[in-house]
Structure 1
Amino acid sequence: MYIGCHLSIADGYEEAAKQALSIGANVFQFFSRNPRGYSSKELDMEDIANMKKILDKNNFGPLLAHAPYILNLGSHKDKTYGMGKGILREDYEKLDSISIPYFTFHPGNHIGKGSEYGVKRISDALNEIITGNENTMLLLETMSGKGTELGHTFEEIRDIIDGVKYSELVGVCMDTCHIYSAGYDIVNDLDGVLERFDDIVGIDKLKCIHLNDSMMEFDSRKDRHAKIGEGTIGLEAIEKIITHPQLKYLPFYLETPNDLEGYEKEIKLLRKLAKY
């Protein structure tokens, strides 16, 4: 089972890998830069090499980078749109250069212009960013649907991917809290939700899972993560998710409101439930 959490790389990639090991994780997620700003650190190639030694020695699964929250590729505002493309392109090139397998981002908001407009803006942006020569995959994160948020329906996810020339380099990161809040009943009909995803997007496009419980009720359209087993999704449903035949071999990344000790407890619990 590939299970880990979100870790800071403020002290370097090697230190993040060591932290992951210390809590029993064999994958981890990190921000590609300041999550709510513009600042970005230069790569330290010795640090990267030391991290990779730890990953290889301990049979880690694929790492996942997360783009900053400030991006909005669905915006009609040229400055916002241009900034988003610039940051995503810069970080995508950097992550590809150090062989990070996956890079996920929130698709964006259409800000009143409508879903069709926003979807096309995102596809157009990805067509400017992806050259077709990369190995890193860009992953659209499934969203909860608050406000004018895009990516909360499988149809929007499909339409974004369909609009990208090199669509083989675009996949999906499914967030359990988000899709439950968006109205996909993974508690009572997990098989049905996955069948629907397969019919609309294609299960082969699903590359990883953000594993979170939810503070909010089903179909609330609100994004509030809860600790595993302490929310409205619940431990029984979480167990079904991590042991489902179509999901269990994917990497799971926790984004629950926890410190390292809390993540360690959740990872132990999930490994016990998974039994693999």
Structure 2
Amino acid sequence: MFKIGCHLSVSKGFEAMGIEALSIGANYFQFFTRNPRGSKAKEMDPEDVLRLSKLMEENNISGALAHAPYTLNPASKDEKVRQFAEEVMRDDLQRLELMPGTFYNLHPGSHVGQGVDEGIRLVIGLLDKVMWKDQKTIVLLEAMAGKGTELGRSFEELKRILDGVEQKDRIGICIDSCHISDAGYDIVNDLDGVLEEFDRIIGLKWLRAVHINDSINEIGSGKDRHAKIGEGTLGLDTFERLINHPSLRDLPFVLETPNDTEGYKKEIELLKSLYK
């Protein structure tokens, strides 16, 4: 089954989010656990979550990806910023226990001048604080484009974080087509080579989800500017190869393109037509 969805707002409730996913032809979806630029969390009404779970089961919605807010920086040199990240992540993971099987997507953060080694050490330390052995949610580290002092701009950096955490069976990777292109990985001309490199350095078994976005910028720009599918530098042919690649085709794909609901519906229809 082709698992395809987009980013939706949870503001109207969890069941309502599932209904919206169905209305645009999605069988997967992503949502922010709280305000993406702040700290206020959407209250999780257990009954509402149960209704969503029932809706998903009855309509073959295969799963969901909860996205941590952009404001988190587990690699900050400011202890208060790291403490905020710890509190938010711990709270998010505990609340997501109501939604078994949901992934939790996290930007690894920025070392803000401390250096990659120290930044990675801090990320590992924070993850070890908030994750526990029997948690149901798997935390996904997102591959980043490499803006400024972002961590996770290379497969090697992601591998170092994976190697360092204690709860290795509760962690994985989410790649973003725009991010990895902007970071310098040539998925347009050498998708096989990029995935072979990922497998050699990290291992494809750790890859659990794909953010599927075109890019405004050329390869290696390090800028992270999403474009609509087929309207950027990656091009429609790249996405046809991406969603049908034997190493990727069974993973969930999540759109984060600059779209409204109707735009997402059209992109989902387009990608479904390309899936073989």
2:151 is matched with: 150
- The amino acid of 1:270's aligned partner reads L
- The amino acid of 1:64's aligned partner reads L
Check if 1:83 corresponds to 2:84.
yes
Q: What does 1:93-108 align with in structure 2 at a 5 Å threshold?
A: 93-108=94-109
1:202 is matched with: 203
Deviations 1:178-233 (A, max 9, x none): 00000000000100100110111110000000000000111000010000000000
- The amino acid of 1:140's aligned partner reads L
* Deviation at residue 60 of structure 1 after TM alignment: 1.2
Verify the 8 A CA contact 1:241 1:248 in the aligned structure 2: yes
1:221 is matched with: 222
Check if 1:179 corresponds to 2:180.
yes
Check if 1:23 corresponds to 2:50.
no
Deviations 1:77-105 (A, max 9, x none): 10001111110111011112331420001
* RMSD (CA atoms): 0.8
* Deviation at residue 62 of structure 1 after TM alignment: 1.9
Q: What does 1:126-275 align with in structure 2 at a 5 Å threshold?
A: 126-275=127-276
CA distance in 2, matches of 1:167, 1:100: 16
Q: Is the deviation greater in 33-42 or in 155-164?
A: 33-42
CA distance in 2, matches of 1:25, 1:133: 30
Deviations 1:92-120 (A, max 9, x none): 11112331420001000000011111011
Q: Give the match's secondary structure for 1:250.
A: coil
* Deviation at residue 70 of structure 1 after TM alignment: 0.3
Verify the 8 A CA contact 1:64 1:100 in the aligned structure 2: no
- The amino acid of 2:166's aligned partner reads K
Verify the 8 A CA contact 1:65 1:100 in the aligned structure 2: no
CA distance in 2, matches of 1:75, 1:193: 30
TM-score of the two chains, using structure 1 as the length reference: 0.98
CA distance in 1, matches of 2:246, 2:132: 34
CA distance in 2, matches of 1:226, 1:100: 29
CA distance in 2, matches of 1:116, 1:97: 35
For structure 2, the 5+ residue unaligned runs are: none
For structure 1, the 5+ residue unaligned runs are: none
- The amino acid of 1:91's aligned partner reads D
Count the aligned residue pairs. 275
1:32 is matched with: 33
Verify the 8 A CA contact 1:27 1:253 in the aligned structure 2: yes
The ranges of structure 1 where at least 4 consecutive aligned residues each deviate by more than 3 angstroms after the TM superposition are none
Verify the 8 A CA contact 2:10 2:42 in the aligned structure 1: no
CA distance in 1, matches of 2:119, 2:63: 30
Percent of aligned pairs with the same amino acid: 51
CA distance in 2, matches of 1:272, 1:98: 30
Q: Give the match's secondary structure for 1:150.
A: coil
TM-score of the two chains, using structure 2 as the length reference: 0.98
Verify the 8 A CA contact 1:32 1:66 in the aligned structure 2: yes
* Deviation at residue 41 of structure 1 after TM alignment: 2.8
Q: Is the deviation greater in 94-103 or in 140-149?
A: 94-103
Q: Give the match's secondary structure for 2:60.
A: coil
CA distance in 1, matches of 2:89, 2:231: 34
Q: Is the deviation greater in 38-47 or in 72-81?
A: 38-47
CA distance in 2, matches of 1:178, 1:13: 28
2:122 is matched with: 121
- The amino acid of 2:137's aligned partner reads T
- The amino acid of 2:81's aligned partner reads T
